[in-house]
Amino acid sequence: MAMFQGVTDDGPEVQVSDDGREFRPVARVPRGRLPQYTVTFTPARARFLRLVFAPPAPIGFPPDLEIPGLPRPQPVTEIPLTELTLYTTPRVHRFEDKAGFAPTPGLTELGTPAADPRSTSRRAR
């Protein structure tokens, strides 16, 4: 069933804070079929960063649909996170979708925020 789901914008929200109490959102990570997503957001200076996950709906049939012989969907109790990498150099926003790794409607709306001209990639020597 998961392979037929589209990309949604209800994935985790990236939030930052200066004091660890008052957080502000800076980006939202899509939820979909790809194992990773690159998300670019306007640079933010902060001491704390957190990801806020909303529990996704169970995968399977709608909860009010009863089909004899089929098990009911189980609620999600864990959300795996294998890696989070923050870069100080610009990246292409949602490049996985733009490269065609999965069919994604609405690609024209997935612009990349303007990069600070002072932040450039440097080659390692």
pLDDT in tens, the chain (125 residues): 344 455 666 788 999 999 999 999 999 988 777 888 888 888 889 999 999 987 666 555 666 677 777 777 677 777 778 888 888 888 888 888 888 877 777 767 777 777 766 655 554 44
Of 85, 106, 74, nearest in space to 38 by CA = 85
CA dihedral of 116, 37, 47, 81, whole degrees rounded to 10: -170
Which pLDDT score is estimated for 38? 86
State the CB neighbour count (10 A cutoff) for residue 87.
10
What whole-number distance in Å separates Cα of residue 21 and Cα of residue 44? 16
Which pLDDT score is estimated for 2? 43
**What does the domain layout of the chain look like in residue ranges?**
7-54
* DSSP element (H, E) containing 17: strand 13-17
Of 30, 27, 28, nearest in space to 42 by CA = 27
Q: Please give the model's pTM, rounded to 2 decimal places.
A: 0.64
What whole-number distance in Å separates Cα of residue 18 and Cα of residue 24? 10
Residue 3 near residue 93, CB atoms below 8 Å? no
Which pLDDT score is estimated for 47? 96
